[in-house]
Chain A
Amino acid sequence: MKKNSSGHEKPLPQPDPDSQMFWEGCKQHKLLVQRCKKCGTHWFPPDSMCHMCQCRDYEWVEVEGKGGVYSWIVVYYSPHPAFSREVPYAVSYVELNAPKSIRMCGNIVNCKNEDIYAGMPVEVVFDDVTPEVTLPRWKPTK
């Protein structure tokens, strides 16, 4: 995999018109999700319509970024050079405490792979991987 201009060797997200605000938020170390202005439903991943009431009028709101491990894997074999150097590494689905309906995918950091458990409380940390891109990751809540 080619290094990009800032030396980050892993694939970076390609924001689209729906997700641009989410990634902008990460850059400012804020975890943003959408909320329907009509029925109040929150959703993620970003979309252009409320899945509950089909309203297209929504706002971006910051969420606390605390949650628990819903499921996780530890990758021992990766066919991709960018990740094969780092095995074994953990990826988790994190279920937010509020709003509970939202799950995000990300790495667990500051924690040994063997210490991860179901429901483990985690909180978001922002990793500025390049000057343009910040990835949310998750660390155990003390």
Chain B
Amino acid sequence: MNNLKDKVAIVGLGWTKFSRNSGVSVKNLALESCKNAIDDAGLTVKDVDGIATYNIGDSVSPYVVATGLGLPELRWNIEYFAGANGATSTLLTAACAVIGGLADTVLIFRAMNGRTGTRLGGAGLSLNTSGVEQYCVPYGLTTFPQAVAMIARRHMIKYGTTSRQMGAVAVTCRDNAALNERAVLRSPLSIEDHQNSKMIVDPLRLYDCCQETDGACAVLITSANRAKDLRHTPVYLMSGTHGAGWQSGEFFGKTTAFWPEWDELSDTYAKTMAPELFGKAGITPEDVDVAELYDCFTIEPIVQLEDFGFCKKGEGGAFVESGAIKRDGRLPINTHGGLLSEGYIHGFNHVLEAASQLRGDADARQIKDAEIALVTGYCGPVANAVILRR
């Protein structure tokens, strides 16, 4: 079996400030995060020969970033038209480019004025009624929160999952964000605050929804061989998967999502791909020390914990409510505060947090002896995830 295990490593991390109003262009954010990642690795722009990114909404292309940084040559690049299915799979694709010799050292970034530019929550987006959206938008199913609320309701119907259980995810993320200076929301949040917050789309309340954010982050990857001579402890890519299940449907449109053909809305493709993901890494879920789980809405980590095998199907709600996902729990998740509280950089900030944890430089957020991390992007009828180790 072909395997990319341990052949590529993350060697540099770069962030911009995360805010609700950056006051600068998306290009400015992209360049700053990329330069910070190059500096962090102790390299120069002359060492970089590949760039990858993904987007729906705000972004800039690899060519623009290559020009802005003054790269001597861009040997390989890709701009993946993707929402959160690009969150970890863009890293995976770039790793394949390094293994295949298309580039030696690749920047992967996500830059967006997600609050002051294109708001993926729906505000300001013009409604689309062609393609799959002709069957849902005319009825007022027009935004991503509404599409995911349909999944949350289905999970409640099938397994008795409660709003309080979803709230436990929000509270855990906020507790973690209190330790993270980069986080957009750090003030304390109680389960009562969650329960008293206004309904956005029943069953999702305000604090079930992530924070639209302005900001950017970037990582630099290179071959494992080269990585060991660089400044930081290399963070190796053990495995990754990215795909879709049978009848995943047209999983998203321009403004919302609708999955009429997916067999069971409370299941995700993660269930199908997890054996390959863990198998190729040569580990089991029990070996994971920290998990950065895509949390655009609080139901997402719950279904992922089930489908990646950290608890039984249907027990995700009880699992998060038990405290198992807290910093001192069985499986700490979203140690930076997640998209719910650190900010929504389309899930790519999860990759950087995992790498920080594995390098051991996560400051007050550090989970002791973290050696293996699972990072996920959106998981529904389509799913993507990577496993990293130090």
**What residues on A are CB-neighbors of B64 within 8 Å?**
none
Known contacts A79-B121, A93-B265: does B129 contact A71 (CB below 8 Å)? no
Residue of B nearest to A129 (CB): B138
Give Cα distance in the complex from A1 to B129, angstroms.
14
**What residues on B are CB-neighbors of A1 within 8 Å?**
127
Q: Which of A12, A71, A74 has the most CB of B within 10 A?
A: A71
Contacting residue for B124 out of A45, A79, A93, CB 8 A:
A79
The answer to the question of A75 belonging to the interface, with a C-beta cut-off of 8 Å to chain B, is yes
Are A19's CB and B134's CB within 8 A?
yes
Comparing B193-201, B274-282, B312-320, the segment that makes contact with chain A is B193-201
**What residues on B are CB-neighbors of A7 within 8 Å?**
none
Total residues of chain A contacting the partner, CB 8 A: 40
**What residues on B are CB-neighbors of A76 within 8 Å?**
198-202
Known contacts A11-B127, A11-B138, A79-B123: does B260 contact A93 (CB below 8 Å)? yes
Are B140's CB and A75's CB within 8 A?
yes
CB distance from A19 to the nearest CB of B (A): 6
Are A75's CB and B201's CB within 8 A?
yes
The answer to the question of A59 belonging to the interface, with a C-beta cut-off of 8 Å to chain B, is no
**What residues on B are CB-neighbors of A107 within 8 Å?**
139-140
Are B258's CB and A14's CB within 8 A?
no
Task: Find residues 55-73 in chain B having any chain A CB closer than 8 Å to their own CB.
Answer: none
**What residues on B are CB-neighbors of A40 within 8 Å?**
none
Are B138's CB and A10's CB within 8 A?
yes
Are A12's CB and B202's CB within 8 A?
no
The answer to the question of B107 belonging to the interface, with a C-beta cut-off of 8 Å to chain A, is no
Q: Which of B131, B134, B261 has the most CB of A within 10 A?
A: B134
The answer to the question of A35 belonging to the interface, with a C-beta cut-off of 8 Å to chain B, is no
Are A71's CB and B142's CB within 8 A?
no
Q: Which of B123, B157, B265 has the most CB of A within 10 A?
A: B157
Known contacts A45-B135, A70-B154, A72-B153: does B200 contact A77 (CB below 8 Å)? yes
Are A105's CB and B135's CB within 8 A?
yes
Give Cα distance in the complex from A88 to B146, angstroms.
13
Residue of B nearest to A83 (CB): B140
**What residues on B are CB-neighbors of A137 within 8 Å?**
139
Are A80's CB and B146's CB within 8 A?
no
The answer to the question of A21 belonging to the interface, with a C-beta cut-off of 8 Å to chain B, is no
The answer to the question of A106 belonging to the interface, with a C-beta cut-off of 8 Å to chain B, is yes
The answer to the question of A49 belonging to the interface, with a C-beta cut-off of 8 Å to chain B, is no
Residue of B nearest to A105 (CB): B136
Give Cα distance in the complex from A76 to B261, angstroms.
26
Are B127's CB and A135's CB within 8 A?
no
Give Cα distance in the complex from A70 to B124, angstroms.
30
Are A91's CB and B260's CB within 8 A?
no
Residues of A within 8 A of B (CB): 1, 10-16, 19, 43-45, 51, 70-80, 82-83, 86, 88-89, 91, 93, 102-107, 118, 135, 137
10 closest residue pairs by CB, A with B: A13-B134, A79-B123, A74-B202, A71-B154, A118-B157, A73-B149, A14-B130, A105-B136, A76-B199, A83-B140
